[in-house]
Each structure stands twice: as structure tokens, then as C-alpha cells.
Amino acid sequence: PMGSNDLPFIFKESTNDYQSVMIQGQISYKIANPKMLADILDFTVTDSGTYKKNDIEKLNQRIINEAQTSTSSFIHNIGLKEAIRSGKEIENRILEGLKSSEAISMLGIEILGANVLAVQASPEMTKALETETRERLQQEADQAIYERRNFAVEQERKIKESELNTEIAVEEKQKQIDEKRMESEVQRMENNRKLREMNIEADIVVENQRKIFIEQKTENDKKEAEVQGFQIEAMLKPYKEMDWRSLTALAGHSDARNNIALAFRELAQNAEKIGNLNISPDLLESILNNKRPEKK
């Protein structure tokens, strides 16, 4: 076979967690040196055109064995999950291993390429991984829901906290306003108290001054009365020794009734010297009625 050939392969390997994986792919190659290959393998054709021996299968198996050898050490050192995800790395290791293999070079083969189509676990493990993945995805979904709910709760808490802080700020501001108003009211009351005290002190000063004035006026009136009494006493002293007749005469009363009364008093004092006294009815009536006697 002188043209290029595509060799499908599938082989099993074990990971470091003792799980089996099936590696499936394809290797492209061509016979670069037929003589070298003919020296090792027999590709004699019969008269009917078929290969005398089935050495082509030997060739393919040798290539697959070299591919498996190139990647076995890598897979043995990784876990199942990583192996399933390492298709590209396995592909590169197969290609490099085949190109650098002395056994492949001795066969006169040129490796054109290698492709890994699948890296699969056993059906049971695949199902278990699917279940695990499904559960993990469900957990992640639940976690996402939980986180969204927590986020919503946290946002609501922040909103309520913000509202509470706003209310606290408003209350604090109102408290400051009330305290300021109270301080103003206290200051106003204090000013009123001081004003009342000043008014009371002023009234006390006025009353004290008034008291001093009244005391002084009383003292002055007393002294003035004493002076007036002394003056009156001095003025009346000459009349003290005078009898009533002289005082009456000095008084200058011209009322006839008073004169008549004084005359009766004089008569009464000298009654022992008077024999008979005749009083006319008209005179007596005028005296009793407080009227002057009519002149005839």
C-alpha cells in the first residue's frame, strides 16, 4: 500500500484512580520506504491479487501499540475526570510518540497525523459521572438560587438598613432641633427670669426710695407740726390768763344769740344779786328757734 492510509484505533488504559478509559481515534500514515518495510514484513501478492500473508494487520497493530505506549504513562498519572478532558493532550502525545519512535522509523513509515475522537469511561462510570455531574449541576443551580436569594435578602437588608439609618438620621436631626428649641426656650425663660428679677430689684429700689421719702416726709411733717404747735402755743400764751369775757370781746362776735347766751351766763353767775328777772315770750321763742327777734 503506497498511498496514505487512515488507521482507526481503540485501546483501553487505566488512570491513577484505577478507572478504565477507552481511547478512540485515527492515525494517518504512508509508506515512505517500501524496501525497509518489505525487509521486515511480507507483502507478497498471490496470482489472484491477494496478500500471501496478513502482515498489513501486523503493521497496523504495531502502529497502534506504539500509539498506546506513547500515551500510557501520561494517562496512568492523571485521574479519570482529567483523562476524559485531555483528548487534545493525548492526541499530541500519540503524534509525537509515533514520529520519534525508532520502531516506526525502521518500518519505513511516515506518520502524517493523529486524531483522538473520544476518551470514554466505562458505561457504569459514565452513568455515575453523569449522575455526579447532574447532581453537581443541580447543586450549583441550587447554590445559584441560594446565592440569588441571599443576594436579594442582603439587598433588602441593606435597603432596610439604609432606611433605618435614614430614620435614625432624621430622628437625630429632630432631636437636635428639639434640643435647640429647648435650649432657646430655656434661654428665653432665663432671660424672662432675669428681666423679672431686674424689675423686682427696680421695684425694691423704688420702694426703698419711697420708704426713705415717706420716713423723711413723716419726720419733716412731725418737725413742722412741732414747730406749728410751738408757734400756736406761743401765740395763745397771752390769752391763757384772760377770762371768757375778754376772749369774747376779742373774738368780735356780733351774733345776738351768742350775746344773749353770754348774758344769761353772767346772770346765772350773779343770781344771788338779782331779785326778779323778766324774759319776754318773743325773746325766749327767738332763742329756742335759733331766730333773731324781729324789730318793731
- CA angle in degrees (0–180, nearest 5) for 137-77-71: 105
List, for residues 166-186, the tens digit of each pLDDT value.
Answer: 999 998 899 899 988 888 888
pLDDT higher than 80, residue 130: yes
What residue segments make up the domains of the chain, in order of their start?
Answer: 4-121, 253-288
The answer to whether the Cα torsion of 167, 170, 174, 179 is positive or negative is positive
pLDDT band at residue 289, thresholds of 50, 70 and 90?
low
Give me the pLDDT at residue 40, please.
Answer: 82
Does the predicted TM-score (pTM) go above 0.85?
no
Size of the chain, expressed as the number of residues it contains: 296
Give me the pLDDT at residue 134, please.
Answer: 86
SS3 breakdown of the chain: % helix, strand, coil, rounded to 5? Answer: 70, 15, 20
Cα–Cα distance, 107 to 32 (Å, whole number): 9
Diameter over CA atoms, the chain: 231
Q: Cα 188 vs. chain centroid, distance in angstroms?
A: 32
pLDDT higher than 60, residue 292: no
List, for residues 76-122, the tens digit of each pLDDT value.
Answer: 999 999 999 999 999 999 999 999 999 898 988 899 999 999 999 99
Give me the pLDDT at residue 90, please.
Answer: 95
CB-based contacts of 23: which residues, under 8 Å, 6+ apart?
9, 10, 11, 12, 13, 68, 71, 75, 90, 116, 118, 119
List, for residues 214-238, the tens digit of each pLDDT value.
Answer: 888 888 888 888 888 888 877 777 7
Cα–Cα distance, 119 to 93 (Å, whole number): 14
List, for residues 246-268, the tens digit of each pLDDT value.
Answer: 666 666 655 666 666 666 666 66
Taking residues 7-23, report their average pLDDT. Answer: 94
Assess contact for 108 and 31: CB atoms under 8 A.
yes
- Topology, domain 4-121: Tetrahydropterin Synthase; Chain A (3.30.479)
List, for residues 39-59, the tens digit of each pLDDT value.
Answer: 888 777 677 767 677 788 888
CB-based contacts of 247: which residues, under 8 Å, 6+ apart?
239
